[in-house]
Amino acid sequence: PNPPTIREELCTASYDTITVHWTSDDEFSVVSYELQYTIFTGQANVVSLCNSADSWMIVPNIKQNHYTVHGLQSGTKYIFMVKAINQAGSRSSEPGKLKTNSQPFKLDPKSAHRKLKVSHDNLTVERDESSSKKSHTPERFTSQGSYGVAGNVFIDSGRHYWEVVISGSTWYAIGLAYKSAPKHEWIGKNSASWALCRCNNNWVVRHNSKEIPIEPAPHLRRVGILLDYDNGSIAFYDALNSIHLYTFDVALSQPVCPTFTVWNKCLTIITGLPIPDHLDCTEQLP
């Protein structure tokens, strides 16, 4: 049969699945399809990868022209090939490059400081003096000056990207923390957390109370965070202008949790995103 064509524009992904769609010029002569896939690690010579059978996962005997692969790594790029098979033999498609999204998460209301309100399907946090009647819980932020809230996920592997929309706030901190990070301190004030912070007109990145000044655009409206857990990097970006702001290089030893502090106005998170192409360091397919 003629080789199938992977239709990348029709393919869809979640954080742990990819649905691959393909077409075939002579599908009536095709008895079945075989889907092959492997993690794309950036090798320029894809041909040698394609000839290396032991690194591929294989799904045989597919009768339709689409298939959903489950159990994939989040924030990861894969190569897929589809083989059309009939009695005369088989022919493979050109390799297609697809990637999973990042792990989705929401804000955890049980962790929110008493003077914060979590709303909009647990995606927005805002300062709210009237919301102080919350019961004490071990995970709740407690400091008089650190109005924090944590995400509802702990991440211990993979690459993950999310964005924070800054809705008028001029005093906030955005970052990551170990579960052991103190709940009575601003994130970045200890060895268990890392943060990008704005305090009126002062911008810094902070870890273990060490502050490094940064100079983003004056009206930074959306911050992108790229966590590469396995390679030990936490990077911050001006998401609207695709500008790198700072990267922490750190050997992470515990699961980390997205963490947010806001002193005025509100922050909104956007999660479950694919890693933007311009931040994806793997080489492009030739």
- Domain extents for the chain? 5-99, 109-279
Same fold: 5-99 with 109-279: no
pLDDT of residue 50: 63
Q: Which of 282, 284, 266 is nearest to 127 (CA)?
A: 266
The per-residue pLDDT for 286 is 36
Q: What is the pLDDT, as a whole number, of residue 52?
A: 65
What is the structure's pLDDT at 51? 62
Residue with the two structure tokens 């949790």? 257
The pLDDT assigned to 142 comes to 75
* Residue 251 tokens, joined: 């050997």
The angle at the Cα of 190, spanning 186 to 194, to the nearest 5 degrees, equals 75
Contact call for residues 225 and 279 (beta carbons, < 8 A) = no
In order of 152, 191, 256, the CA distances from 179 in angstroms are 11, 12, 7
Nearest partner of 263 among 124, 120, 125, judged by Cα: 125
pLDDT at 141 (0 to 100): 79
Structure tokens given for 252: 């992470």
d(CA 195, CA 209): 10
**What CATH class is the domain 5-99?**
mainly beta
* pLDDT (0 to 100) of residue 281: 63
Residues of the chain scoring pLDDT < 50? 283-286
Q: Phi/psi zone of residue 158: left (φ > 0), alpha (ψ -120 to 50 degrees), beta?
A: left
Using DSSP, state whether 129 is helix, strand or coil: helix
CATH code that applies to domain 109-279? 2.60.120.920
Q: Are 154 and 256 in contact (CB under 8 A)?
A: yes
Place of tokens 């100079």: 215
